[in-house]
Amino acid sequence: MAAWARAVRGLLLDVSGVLYDSGGDGGVPIAGSVEAVRRIKASGLKLRFCTNETQATREKFVKKLQGMGFDISVDEVTAPAPAACHILKERSLRPHLLVHNDLIPEFAEIDKANPNCVVIGDAAENFTYANLNEAFRVLIGMEKPVLISLGRGRYYKETDGLKLDVGAYMKALEYACDVQAEVVGKPAKMFFESALAEMGVPPQQAIMIGDDIVNDVGGAQRCGMRALQVRTGKYRPCDENHPHVKPDAYVNNLAEAVDVILQQL
């Protein structure tokens, strides 16, 4: 039996690339993932869906997944936008938003007048020169610029191929404004600690399953969790030779991981 699968009380699942591949048509479930989620819930294991999704509100995102057959609710999802809103309120920050249009409702209760920070997410088609330059001008005009990023992913997979993620644009603003972004989503330690707290499970008894070798696997391991990389989503064979991050195991897909974990219960 696999040593990495022992003494598990909770699972954290990445969504895009693990449960489904996104796309302009809404995306498609990865084979076996709908049933795998059902089996996890039937087993009694604690479960959180941990996503850096910033192209839609949690409500809209969850509704899409439910339409694919997944047993998922909004209160089971840990996502960057709500965490960012908490930070903005706590620090009396007023954001200039460089985010996807569909994410803007998440910030409805946030004061956005006279911005004193920039929040950047996966804005997709909103990543135009004009919009990036507007964010640059907000930051460069501050004595102490504040840049909050809803993740730092380099790319992700959609049904028609790989797409640039927020990290590339975050780095451009960091370079131009000589500022270090505060990352709210994965791989930030705070993100994983929040998900663990919501489950009530210590890191030593939790496993993260993701397709991103750095943000999913590396981020979770730095919090004391075990972490698996699936060979779906953005996975590429070169990930298995990563110079710094070594998953506790590779699995072909979520269904295979769940098979092994449930055998240990």
Tens digit of pLDDT for each residue in 12-53? 999 999 999 988 778 999 999 999 999 999 999 999 999 998
Same domain as 256, residue 176: no
Asked, for residue 76, whether it belongs to a domain, the answer is no
173 and 143 part of one domain: yes
* Distance in angstroms (rounded) separating the CA atoms of residues 24 and 123: 14
> Is the same domain home to 22 and 110?
no
Q: Which amino acid is at 205?
A: Q
In a domain, 4, yes or no: no
**Over 70: is that where the pLDDT of 251 sits?**
yes
Domain co-membership, 122 together with 208: no
Question: What element of type H or E holds 264?
Answer: helix 254-264
190 in a structural domain: yes
Model confidence, pTM:
0.88
Instruction: Report the number of distinct structural domains present in the chain.
Output: 2
Give yes or no for residue 193 having a pLDDT over 90: yes
How does pLDDT run across 133-157, given as a tens digit for each residue?
999 999 999 999 999 999 999 998 8
Residue 79 lies inside a defined structural domain of this protein = no
- Assign 3-class secondary structure to 138-180: HHHCCCCCCEEECCCCCEEEECCEEEECHHHHHHHHHHHHCCC
In a domain, 65, yes or no: no
Could you say which DSSP state residue 30 is in?
P
Is residue 50 within 8 A of residue 14, CB to CB? The reply is yes
pLDDT at 73 exceeding the cut of 70: yes
Single residue among 124, 158, 183 that ends a domain in this structure: 183
Residues 255 and 238 occupy one common structural domain: yes
Could you tell me the pLDDT band of residue 1, with boundaries at 50, 70 and 90?
Answer: low
Residue 115 contacts by C-beta under 8 Å, 6 or more apart in sequence? 94, 95, 96, 138
Instruction: For residue 7, count other CB atoms closer than 10 A to its CB.
Output: 9
- Which pLDDT band holds residue 158 (cuts at 50, 70, 90)? confident
Long-range CB contacts for residues 74-78, cutoff 8 Å, separation at least 24 = 76/47, 76/48, 76/49, 77/48, 77/49, 77/50, 77/51, 78/48, 78/49, 78/50, 78/51, 78/191, 78/194, 78/195, 78/198
Which of 151, 183, 215 is the last residue in one of the domains?
183
H/E run at residue 66 = helix 58-67
Read off the pLDDT of each residue in 195-221 and give the average, rounded to a whole number.
96
Looking at residue 217, which CATH number applies to its domain?
3.40.50.1000
Q: Does the residue 144 lie in any domain?
A: yes
Enclosing domain of residue 244:
10-52+186-263
Contact in structure between 36 and 255 (CB atoms under 8 Å): yes
